[in-house]
Structure 1
Amino acid sequence: MEKLPRWSKITLKILGGLVALILIVFIALGLYVNANKKELLGTITKQLNKNLNGSLTIGNMEPTFFKGFPGVSISLKNVVMKDSLWKNHHHTLLDAKDFDVSVNTMALLTGTIEIKKIGISNATIYLFTDSNGYSNTAIFRKKDKKKEPETDEGGSDARLKKFSLNQVSFVVDNKKGHKLFQFDVDELKGEMDYSFSGWEAKLKLKTMARSLAFNTRRGSFIKDKMLEGPFKINYNEDSGIIDVAENQLNIGKDPFLIGAKFDTSKENTDFKINIKAPGILWRDASALLAPNISSKLNMFDLKAPIDVTCTIAGNMGPGGDPAINVTALVKDNVLTTPGAVIDSCNFRGVFTNNYLNGKGFTDENSAIKLYQFKGSYSEMPFSIDTVFIHNLDKPIATGVFRSKFEISKLNKAIGEETLKFTRGTANVKLAYKADIVAFKLSKPIVTGVVDITNADVSYVPRKLNFTNTAISLNFTSNDLFIKNIRLQSGRSVVMMDGTIRNFLNLYYTAPEKILLTWKVTSPELHLGEFLGFLGTRKTAKKVKRQTKSTNFSQDMNELFEKSMVDMHLRVAKVYYNKFLATDATADLFLSESGIGLKNISVKHGGGSLKVDGNISQKGKFNHFLINTTLSNVDIKNFFYSFDNFGMTSLTSKNLKGYLYSKTKIGGTITDQGRLVTNSLNGNVVFDVKRGALLRFDPIKNVGKFAFPFRDLDNITFENLNGKFDIRGPRITINPMQINSSILNMDVAGVYSMSTGTNIELDVPLRNPKKDEDITDKKEIQERRMKGIVLHLLATDGEDGKIKIKLNRNRSKGK
């Protein structure tokens, strides 16, 4: 083994001597501290109490040399610090089980105390301010800047160089300002550098935030969240400003950039905190806010992280909430709201609780603005230039909504229970102002236009289908104007313009009071294609949706069901089964109970037809009561158009002439537009001019025996009038005279469409042609019943057909 060089041996001896010397010094210091523990404890206590307006007590002191090596570290036990008014409020400023103090070794040997580091463990720090504004931090006397620094007691320097907190409960309880900040400090390490103008501190923090309540009546921010990260803090004694440089702080699992400024020169300490979260989930951000805010924000959600910046500014004195301003950037996100899910969502959002300066930091003075809002609802893209929501106590929202989309996509959004779209395009531009109830738009005031073109739509409750439909909805602040509507159903084409006065107010409050006034024109209208209006409305099925949706479909269904319609029609041609009319005009009033008919006028069969009345809807049947006036109507055409009114013996083939008539008649038609058999009830007053009875079998059956040489196939008459009373299947023929080309006849009795026909006929055998040259009407009337008169009775035959026989009872009576 080689021997060490001489210089190495000398070096080792010197190092060993130094170590031995240090050990001797530390042993000597230990002996010194133990020997002078009481005096040193008193000196330290006195040093720490020098600038206190209260009391500081220390239970015990032990040297812990190696903690502060090469200096001396002293461990103080049960350190308690109380202000002078502790007996009034009982909030101890400091109660530390372990309080480690590191002092300068050389200063200690000269009999002076220079504190270099303080470590506090297992302690409670409670900063208390009562309702009158007094704080227990008054224990620290304010330094008189004009007074020269004291150099007594050996010129000791009590300023800290380093400090640490471990397992410390830190509380700021401000009763006057309704503020409560409470932290369970797991670990806090700090270093202090002093300058002529103040100090600088570098901190490393790990703490649990139990409360960060700027207003205890509202609740706490970042409650029960772990905070971890570094801080760099500067204090300027001249300005009293504490500046916290921006640095990353982890709050829970999310990283934040946080900076702050505190102005301690003000009586209540003004503060401003800047917070940035470049990528945080909506719900995670909401969880950091006070309950009065988070409870509202949690009604919404954004799927992807968002970029948020926030400033919180206020003071530590009374006055309620601080000023809060938040800006959020949302890009290509999915927004979930109480009423809808918005895909491809983009906007810049701004929140402030100080919308009008001087009005206070309250919900009432809060506002939200969403700029360049774009998204897609049920695959329908839309945009809103600016969404403005003011007064979060009673929120009001305003904005301009724009959208252009394939209208078939509405089916997914509103359901297919009322309206079902299969094609077409919608172009929407609406400005709105609405209350917000439970974060849904309520009773909006809407102005703007909705244009629908080339649409195919079905009105499901009535089973009505329309093609090539065009609609323009023009909303004013009060009224709705429906313009340029084109509806096509089969062969029918209808052009419509409508107006609803006070629409939006009634839509939400009293849909049954809505009156839609229509002006309708059509070149050709086939009524059979609109028989759905006669049917019972199909009850809309309630369909469960995957997402929460608005009640739009239900509201629209209720609107169609309960609203009233005042319709004014002008139609060139009207078709219904065999019926054809021209130049039709009508005023219809549609309500929940049925249809009112007024001023209906058409040209038909060379004459005119006027109608008024009503149709009431009950179940599958429609009960009607109408008054009609016919003038110069071709009776053959008229009977043909209405299927001979249910009669089989007398049809359009048997009639000729021009009908003048007034009727008041009721009855029932089905939802298919068919007359219910035997349902008619009313009376008919008629006058047939230049008429003829053609090939009418009941007359021919009698006439071929009684009048074998007369033309029974063509019985003409100049004027025939009478009155029929209709009661179901029975038609009562009031006594009437028939003066025809081949015979005269008096008729009275009952004609039945089933059984019970009983018609008395008095037929003189005298040929009316013999009286053709007589011009005196009185003489003609006296002659018409001269000669032999047959008394006949028309009754039911065994084969169901009407049989004519002699009326023996009447003959005997004669």
Structure 2
Amino acid sequence: MPRWSKIILKIFAVLIVLILLLYVAVALYVNANKKSLLTSITKQLNKNLNGTMSIGSMDPTFLKGFPGVSLTLKDVMLRDSLWHTHKHDLLNAKALDISVNLFGLLKGNVQISKISTSNSSIYLFTDTNGYSNTTVFKKKGPKEKTTADGSSPAEINKFVLNHVDFVVDNKRGNKLFHFVIDDLKGKIDYPFGGGWDADIKLKALAKSLAFNTLKGSFIKDRSLEGSFKVSYNESNGIVDVAPNKLLIGEDTFIIGGRFDTSKEITDFTINIEAPNILWRSASANLAANITEKLNMFNLDKPIYAKCTLKGNMGPGGDPEINVEALIKDNVLTVPGGVIDDCNFKGTFTNNHIKGQGFSDENSVIKLYGFEGRYKEMPFSIDTAFINNLVKPIATGIFKSQFEIAKLNPVIGNETLSFSRGTANVNLAYKADIVDFKLNKPLVSGSVTVNGADISYIPRKLNFKNTSVLLNFTNNDLFIKNIRLQSGKSVVFMDGVVRNFLNLYYTAPEKILLTWKIRSPQVHLGEFLGFLGGRRSGAKGKNKKKSTFSDDLNEVFDKSNVNMHVTVDKLYYNKFLATHANAELLLSESGISLKNGSVKHAGGSLKINGHLSQKGNLNRFTMNTILSNIDVRDFFYSFNNFGLTSLTSKNLKGYLFSKTNLSGGITDQGNLVANSIQGDLVFDLKKGALLNFDPIINVGKFAFPFRDLNNITFDNLNGKFNIKGHKITISPMQINSSLLNMDVAGVYSLSTGTNILVDVPLRNPKKDAEITDVDEKKSRRMKGIVLHLLATDGEDGKIKIKLNRKREQSK
């Protein structure tokens, strides 16, 4: 070994021996002067206190503080001057280890460089009046550098906390922060100019982080682990916490903040950033009442979130909360459905209107650029607001373009069903939120439907190639450019509903939809569904109807529809009319028709009536006026009105008539047998009775040599009263070219026919040249007159016989 190495080793050995001797000397000194040293240390620790710190005993533990001297203080308690009132020890430590400077100790000036404690409790208490036990720490004056005896106040360079219960209990501010610190290590530097800088490592369990104990705790029972850089500026009293990673549970957060201690009540700002966190993990860090509500929603993939808390430790209630979140290509689950391909930026603040406090009432959620697909229907919301979380109101602009058949799963299968076509939606909405669902939204904007095939299930009506434009303006609904096609029928419609949105939710029975309807042709047989009772769509026993479908069905059921109809050609079975005009009112009670008019069979028909619906049977009432109608075409068009013996083949002429009738009609559009009741007044001009068997049968006996197959007359008028299967014929005169007769009685469609017929045998042709009306009338019944009776025959046909009673009376 070189000589110089030996010399260095010897010097090093001597130094070690000297240090050991010195430590032995210090140990002897400490043991010999425990009492005085404990007094000195207590005095040193109490220099900046407005209260008392008591120490039960002291033992040296040299190697812990090497090269300084470490002392273990046992049963250390720190109490403020009003401890006897609130009974909360600011510090209660079974063991408190401090490291002191060796040379200062020998000089009698104890300089503490490190403090560590374990199995201790720290309780920072503020009462309802704002008094805090932290007043135990005196604030140094701006020029206070040394104490009165010339020694410097204690500057702690390191501190260690193990298994320490740390509580901040602010009764005045309803705040409770409670942490069980498993391990906390800190290193403090004191730069020139005052203040300090600290590096801190933390591992703890959060028992409570309640900014308002009335609303619960954040990060309750969550583990915390991370490092912080903290600095204190003595001149302005600002404590800055530099942003750094903190593990909360299994999630990584970046947390920083600032605390202003210059005021009587400390202000704070805490910034929290979660770069990649799941929704449920984020909600688990919030108060239980908020977590319960947020867990009604979910996002499948992690999101980015950022939160800023601003407040103070005083009685100001909740802090100001501002949150930002970014959601990309996610799956959002909401009450009632799932939104795929979800993207949006969201913000939250509880200070929406400045100066109105930090509260749920003053809170707002804003969503920007919201996009997604609901049941394969893409949609977007440029901006959506949810104001006032106590009575939340949602507003926004909803846009969507999709194949309309995708609506079927949304509206259910009970009212409408779509098979093709497209829809384009652009609506601004405003709605209350009840149980996290939009309730009774008010909307403005438009909905456009093109090329749609629609089935209206309750009426079994099908429409092809349908187009609709819905405009919502304020509370009114304007329906424009509708094109409906059902079979051969094509209908164009424009409509309006005043105060629609209010009545839709509150009083659907008061809804009045006013239509202007025009059509080149309508086949009424394609709309027979309106004659049947409403039928509900099929649904399983356990299937719940959607709320939307319920509301829609109720509106269709209870609303009233007023139609102003113009149709070029109107078809029903054999009936053809042109230039049809009418006003129709559809309501719960049925269908009313006013001022109806058509051109038919060379003349015109005017009609007013009502159709009431009860299941498959419909009752109708109607008043009609017929003018110059070709009677043959008229009877043919209406299947002879149920008559079997008198048909369109037996008639010729032009009919003028007034009716007041009621009856029944099936859901297939057929008259119910024997249901017609009412009066019919008619006048047949230039008429003829062709091949009418009852007259021919009479003629076989009375007029065997006359042509009864073609009986003409200039004017035939009469009045019928119809009651079911019986038609009462008021006394009327029939003046024809070949036969005159007086007729009165009852004609039955089944049994009960009893018609009196008086037939003069005088040939009317003999009087054809007489122009005097009175003379012609007086000669009409001269000569032989047959008194006949038309009654039921045994074969079910009408039997004509002499009315012997009438003959005898004559």
Query: TM-score normalised to the size of structure 1?
Result: 0.96
Separation of aligned partners in 1, 2:540 and 2:331 = 24
Separation of aligned partners in 2, 1:8 and 1:191 = 37
Equivalent in the alignment of 1:762: 758
Q: SS of 1:553's equivalent?
A: helix
- Is 1:429 the counterpart of 2:426? The answer is yes
- Is 1:805 the counterpart of 2:808? The answer is no
Amino acid paired to 2:256: G
Separation of aligned partners in 2, 1:652 and 1:550 = 53
Equivalent in the alignment of 2:32: 35
Equivalent in the alignment of 2:629: 633
The 8 Å contact of residues 340 and 549 in structure 1, kept in 2 or not, is answered as no
Residues 182-331 of structure 1 mapped to structure 2, 5 A cutoff = 182-196=178-192, 197-291=194-288, 293-331=290-328
- Is 1:557 the counterpart of 2:563? The answer is no
Offset at residue 739 of structure 1 (A): 1.2
Separation of aligned partners in 2, 1:257 and 1:450 = 46
Separation of aligned partners in 2, 1:147 and 1:488 = 95
Q: Compared with structure 1, are the counterparts of its residues 204 and 491 closer, same or farther at alpha carbon in structure 2 (3 Å cutoff)?
A: same
Structure 1, 47-56 or 600-609: larger mean CA deviation: 47-56
Separation of aligned partners in 1, 2:108 and 2:569 = 122
- Is 1:408 the counterpart of 2:366? The answer is no
Separation of aligned partners in 2, 1:549 and 1:335 = 23
Separation of aligned partners in 2, 1:238 and 1:319 = 26
Separation of aligned partners in 1, 2:170 and 2:71 = 34
- Is 1:700 the counterpart of 2:696? The answer is yes
Q: Which string of whole-angstrom CA distances, capped at 9 and with x for unpartnered residues, describes residues 155-180 of structure 1?
A: 36621111111111111111222221
Q: Which string of whole-angstrom CA distances, capped at 9 and with x for unpartnered residues, describes residues 655-705 of structure 1?
A: 111111111110000111111111111111111111111111111122123
Separation of aligned partners in 2, 1:788 and 1:219 = 114
Offset at residue 62 of structure 1 (A): 2.4
Equivalent in the alignment of 1:448: 445
Offset at residue 8 of structure 1 (A): 8.3
Equivalent in the alignment of 1:472: 469
Equivalent in the alignment of 1:682: 678
Amino acid paired to 1:74: L
Q: SS of 1:354's equivalent?
A: coil
Amino acid paired to 1:175: K
Separation of aligned partners in 1, 2:266 and 2:152 = 31
Give the counterpart of 1:359 among 346, 352, 356.
Answer: 356
Q: SS of 2:554's equivalent?
A: helix
Offset at residue 776 of structure 1 (A): 1.9
Amino acid paired to 1:727: K
Identity of aligned residues (%): 68
Equivalent in the alignment of 1:745: 741
Q: Which string of whole-angstrom CA distances, capped at 9 and with x for unpartnered residues, describes residues 100-152 of structure 1?
A: 11222333333332212111111111111112221111111111222341373
- Is 1:152 the counterpart of 2:149? The answer is yes
Q: SS of 1:169's equivalent?
A: strand
Q: Compared with structure 1, are the counterparts of its residues 383 and 184 closer, same or farther at alpha carbon in structure 2 (3 Å cutoff)?
A: same
- Is 1:580 the counterpart of 2:557? The answer is no
Structure 1, 745-754 or 533-542: larger mean CA deviation: 533-542
The 8 Å contact of residues 44 and 153 in structure 2, kept in 1 or not, is answered as no
- Is 1:731 the counterpart of 2:750? The answer is no
Separation of aligned partners in 2, 1:545 and 1:707 = 77
Q: SS of 1:560's equivalent?
A: helix
The 8 Å contact of residues 417 and 455 in structure 2, kept in 1 or not, is answered as yes
Amino acid paired to 1:585: N
Q: Compared with structure 1, are the counterparts of its residues 100 and 384 closer, same or farther at alpha carbon in structure 2 (3 Å cutoff)?
A: same
The 8 Å contact of residues 158 and 187 in structure 2, kept in 1 or not, is answered as yes
Equivalent in the alignment of 1:51: 48
Separation of aligned partners in 2, 1:635 and 1:150 = 128
Separation of aligned partners in 1, 2:88 and 2:290 = 31
Amino acid paired to 1:49: N
Residues 354-393 of structure 1 mapped to structure 2, 5 A cutoff = 354-393=351-390
Alpha-carbon RMSD across the aligned residues, in angstroms, is 2.1
Amino acid paired to 1:690: K
Separation of aligned partners in 2, 1:117 and 1:440 = 58
Amino acid paired to 1:127: L
Separation of aligned partners in 1, 2:302 and 2:117 = 39
Q: SS of 1:358's equivalent?
A: coil
The 8 Å contact of residues 375 and 406 in structure 2, kept in 1 or not, is answered as yes
Separation of aligned partners in 1, 2:195 and 2:770 = 140
Separation of aligned partners in 1, 2:501 and 2:280 = 35
Offset at residue 189 of structure 1 (A): 0.8
Equivalent in the alignment of 1:722: 718
- Is 1:483 the counterpart of 2:480? The answer is yes
Equivalent in the alignment of 2:161: 165
Residues 589-604 of structure 1 mapped to structure 2, 5 A cutoff = 589-604=585-600
Amino acid paired to 2:257: A
Q: Compared with structure 1, are the counterparts of its residues 518 and 545 closer, same or farther at alpha carbon in structure 2 (3 Å cutoff)?
A: farther
Q: SS of 1:42's equivalent?
A: helix
Residues 99-118 of structure 1 mapped to structure 2, 5 A cutoff = 99-118=96-115
Q: SS of 1:152's equivalent?
A: coil
Amino acid paired to 1:306: I
The 8 Å contact of residues 591 and 611 in structure 2, kept in 1 or not, is answered as yes
Structure 1, 138-147 or 239-248: larger mean CA deviation: 138-147
Structure 1: stretches of 5+ with no match in the other structure: none
Amino acid paired to 1:616: S
Give the counterpart of 1:137 among 134, 137, 142.
Answer: 134
Query: TM-score normalised to the size of structure 2?
Result: 0.96
The 8 Å contact of residues 457 and 536 in structure 2, kept in 1 or not, is answered as no
Offset at residue 396 of structure 1 (A): 2.5
Offset at residue 17 of structure 1 (A): 6.3
Offset at residue 204 of structure 1 (A): 0.6
The 8 Å contact of residues 112 and 156 in structure 1, kept in 2 or not, is answered as no
Separation of aligned partners in 1, 2:161 and 2:799 = 122
**How many residue pairs are counted as aligned between the two chains?**
809
Separation of aligned partners in 2, 1:266 and 1:720 = 111
Separation of aligned partners in 1, 2:577 and 2:142 = 108
Separation of aligned partners in 2, 1:729 and 1:741 = 31
The 8 Å contact of residues 413 and 538 in structure 2, kept in 1 or not, is answered as no
Offset at residue 388 of structure 1 (A): 2.2
The 8 Å contact of residues 161 and 181 in structure 2, kept in 1 or not, is answered as yes
Offset at residue 32 of structure 1 (A): 3.6
Q: Compared with structure 1, are the counterparts of its residues 541 and 120 closer, same or farther at alpha carbon in structure 2 (3 Å cutoff)?
A: farther
Offset at residue 488 of structure 1 (A): 0.5
Q: Which runs of 4+ in 1 moved over 6 A?
A: 4-17, 543-546
Separation of aligned partners in 1, 2:436 and 2:217 = 23
The 8 Å contact of residues 540 and 557 in structure 1, kept in 2 or not, is answered as no
Separation of aligned partners in 2, 1:542 and 1:352 = 44
The 8 Å contact of residues 339 and 550 in structure 1, kept in 2 or not, is answered as no
The 8 Å contact of residues 115 and 157 in structure 1, kept in 2 or not, is answered as no
Amino acid paired to 1:789: V
Q: Compared with structure 1, are the counterparts of its residues 249 and 543 closer, same or farther at alpha carbon in structure 2 (3 Å cutoff)?
A: farther
Separation of aligned partners in 2, 1:164 and 1:621 = 91
Q: Which string of whole-angstrom CA distances, capped at 9 and with x for unpartnered residues, describes residues 701-723 of structure 1?
A: 22123211111110111111111
Amino acid paired to 1:524: Q
Separation of aligned partners in 2, 1:52 and 1:438 = 54
Q: Which string of whole-angstrom CA distances, capped at 9 and with x for unpartnered residues, describes residues 474-510 of structure 1?
A: 1101211111111010000001010101111111111
Separation of aligned partners in 2, 1:663 and 1:375 = 62
Residues 646-665 of structure 1 mapped to structure 2, 5 A cutoff = 646-665=642-661
